[in-house]
Structure 1
Amino acid sequence: MQPYVSGSSKDASARDFQIKETLTATLKNRFATYGYQQIGTSAFEYYDLYSSIAGTVNKDEMLKVIDSSGKVLVLRPDMTIPIARMVSSRQAATAGERLFYVQNVFRQTDGELGSKESTQAGVEYFGENTAENNAEIIMLAVHTLRDLEFANFKIEIGHAGFFKELIKQAKLSRVEIEQLQAMIQSKNTTDIETFLAGFELEEELKIAIKKLPHLHGNPAYVIPQAEEIVRNDAMQELLQNLRDVYEVLEAYEVEDAAVFNLGLINNMNYYTGVIFQGFVENFGKPVMMGGRYDNLGEQFGSPLPAIGFAFDIDDLLQARKQQKLSVPEPGAPDFVIEYTAEKQRDAFRLAYQLREKGLTVLTFPAGSSGGSVAAKRIKLSQDGIACSPLLDEWADEDKETLAQLFPEEKGDE
């Protein structure tokens, strides 16, 4: 009988896993340099946590289970909501908290039936809505993409409120708004025009909505074009907010990596302010998504403003592979110790001392196939100690360890 193997399995070889871990370590190191501390949340959450919050993950995408008490749980479909709950529900929630995570999320997405699990690495900053705070987190995303050696990438920056303020004047139903959002995101101007023709709207409002997909590119072009469709003070204020963020990005000297996209609409409707996505060259979907969500904490009893983003680790790996960027190979052992039977005790003692220094050591009986692994080699036998390469090519601390354990040996092969 053949063992069952799931068609949706994402099992990885040891090499693939180590490559993923190396990339993840790069992200974690960069997040830490901006003052973020790592946290984690439970893989299982109560279904009510997501069903009771407006604008969260599509309920059809959640993977549900029932616990022994009959309560419905979901495998964690999103990281922002449980982190916001954790921070906001504290008795003394404090602004200025910087948190990062590397965890799996679980969703069943239409068209991707085999893909239910992905790894996200992201940050959440709980602080007031200022141009400096918004720009810094975008700068962190830019810095991280540079660390990953992507030569050509762009951060598309928009504002969740711009579309909401504009569409508020059209008085469409929720379903109609979702249909229009999909057309704007796909920049399908023909369908947008046909769709709007079915409603009795002011002509100026129709023109403004149809213009949204084209408000994309250099801020020097986008801002004047957006000014033409501003219809109230709130939209003017949102546009000024984007100008202010861009000025801070200029101070960071990363303005070349930023473009504006006022047709950018995030499917997570809890976003309230600046939203952004990261794209790398020749990769057809964003590798990073984020934005400001100032009202989410209120649903957990604490109005704590926040902004964050998340990288999809699997997409980053695929994008690096597509661009033929160098793949960090798993590290080879620092030492291989080969020993004869009478020198086994000495070999194990030497291996222990080297491992205590944080070095990787493999040990093999003389003549075994494992002795072919490339590394600094030490052979222990009745004839003494032989080293390859020659001992004078070793680091001083390694020579010292060997000399302490075997003070009378010459050590060269």
Structure 2
Amino acid sequence: MKEYSIPPGARDLVGKECKKKKALQRTIEDFMKSWGYEEVMTPSIEFYKTFQTGFARLLEEEIFKFFNNHGRILTLRMDMTIPIARMVNTRFKNVEKPLRFMYAANVFRVQKEMALKQHELTDCGLELIGKGGKDGDLEVLTCALELLKRLGLQNFTMELGNIALFQSACDGSSLDRKEVKNLTKLVARKSLKELGEYVEGLDISKEAKSFFIELPLLCGGVDVVKYVKYLCFNQGMEDAIDEMEGLLGDLEDLGYLDLISIDFGKLPRMDYYTGLLFESYVKGVGGSILSGGRYDALLEKFGEAKPAIGFSIKLDDLMNLVPYEDEEESFTVIYGEGEIRVGIKELLELQRDGRSGVLEERAGTKGVEVVSNRGGKC
């Protein structure tokens, strides 16, 4: 017999795995709705041009591409933020802002075969459109923190950064696109030796060189913010630090400061971010389970300029972190040979009472027996 398999980077879910995933998704969706976020759905297939518009540098190696019958390039969505930005400027163009959207959707990214990662993942997230400044930042960040607590996660931290600090340093140093790209790679990889050699070769001020060389190390407790203030060499950088100090003050007042750490060397893969960045990590897990940030320049690419901020949480990663116990009781309706009609009638009665069950023919059975899957007759 010929065996059929699924491609590397794909997987099947069955039985309790499906129940657990759906239960987690419902918990997340109910939580987001309690904050006033309304569900939206976008198609899995988008025009390639949509993502090309949204990204300054499209991650070509991570995107699934194909052609339609008219020769236009299509893609499987690789994230939900860009489709929602597109949707806001088509379906909600003249609607009063702010808008609060939530979603649960599969996203698709090409992974290296040896990376042992999935090509198809489920993201749950929210987007706050049309609310700028610290109020929007605080609302979304608080929502993310409370969601992690609601899920019962232990030993998690929320790491904060601000991409505006790096962007302002690059703008103030008049770096070209290629130089910014090279710096981004070296800082993100924390390649200190290579970074130092590269920065020393740039035609920039001593203050700028000092900042870029130290950037990968500007992480740790909230006290690092005070130190970074002394490395700023233009107003944009100072504004980014002032924003962070204000946000930390609000988080302290709300009782979240013990969950917060700082990493100004955090430079996101998605290049549409413009301000606050945040990622959550759980002790013992390699990557982040939740990530988000502010992207005030993205919506303008699709039409009307609006401030925006959001986050997504990786549902598949949560499966291994959040305990789950199937509390739903189901029943087996056992009937004798030739008595399936009697069994069906009994099952229909169970269903009318809001319960579920399965039919089973068993030789030697007289009449009908209804057995709980937890054991015992009822």
TM-score by length of 2: 0.90
Match of 1:98 among 100, 107, 118: 100
Moved more, 11-20 or 77-86: 11-20
Moved more, 91-100 or 284-293: 91-100
Cα distance in structure 2, aligned partners of 1:91 and 1:36:
18
Cα distance in structure 2, aligned partners of 1:91 and 1:168:
32
1:86 and 2:87 correspond: yes
How far 1:103 sits from its partner (Å)?
0.8
What residue number does 1:3 align with?
Answer: 3
What residue number does 1:209 align with?
Answer: 212
Moved more, 366-375 or 14-23: 366-375
What residue number does 1:18 align with?
Answer: 19
- How many residues in Structure 1 have an aligned counterpart in Structure 2? 372
Match of 2:140 among 130, 137, 140: 137
2:134·2:247 contact (CA, 8 Å) conserved in 1?
Answer: yes
1:333·1:375 contact (CA, 8 Å) conserved in 2?
Answer: yes
1:374 and 2:373 correspond: yes
Instruction: Supply the AA of the counterpart residue of 2:373.
Output: A
Instruction: Supply the AA of the counterpart residue of 1:278.
Output: S
How far 1:186 sits from its partner (Å)?
3.0
Instruction: Supply the AA of the counterpart residue of 2:344.
Output: F
SS of residue paired to 1:70: coil
- The within-5 A match list for 1:24-43 is 24-43=25-44
Cα distance in structure 1, aligned partners of 2:58 and 2:290:
17
Cα distance in structure 1, aligned partners of 2:234 and 2:126:
33
SS of residue paired to 2:54: coil
1:336 and 2:332 correspond: yes
SS of residue paired to 2:115: coil
- The within-5 A match list for 1:8-407 is 8=8, 9-55=10-56, 57-89=58-90, 90-110=92-112, 112=115, 115-219=118-222, 221-318=223-320, 320=321, 326=323, 328-331=324-327, 333-340=329-336, 347-367=343-363, 374-375=373-374, 388=377
Instruction: Supply the AA of the counterpart residue of 2:14.
Output: S
SS of residue paired to 2:319: helix
How far 1:229 sits from its partner (Å)?
1.1
Between the two proteins, what is the percent identity of the paired residues? 26
Instruction: Supply the AA of the counterpart residue of 2:19.
Output: Q
Q: Aligned in 2, Cα 1:57/1:144: closer, same or farther, shift over 3 Å? A: farther
Cα distance in structure 2, aligned partners of 1:61 and 1:365:
51
How far 1:375 sits from its partner (Å)?
3.8
Cα distance in structure 1, aligned partners of 2:237 and 2:364:
74
Moved more, 350-359 or 130-139: 350-359
SS of residue paired to 1:335: strand
Instruction: Supply the AA of the counterpart residue of 1:348.
Output: I
How far 1:242 sits from its partner (Å)?
1.3
Cα distance in structure 1, aligned partners of 2:77 and 2:294:
21
* Partner deviation per Cα, 1:262-318 (whole Å, 9 max, x = no partner): 111112121111111111112111111111111211112111211101112222224
Q: Aligned in 2, Cα 1:289/1:55: closer, same or farther, shift over 3 Å? A: farther
1:364·1:371 contact (CA, 8 Å) conserved in 2?
Answer: no
| Larger-gyration structure (1/2) | 1
1:291·1:309 contact (CA, 8 Å) conserved in 2?
Answer: yes
Which ranges of structure 1 fall in alignment gaps of 5 or more residues?
378-387, 390-413
How far 1:344 sits from its partner (Å)?
5.6
Cα distance in structure 2, aligned partners of 1:42 and 1:56:
23
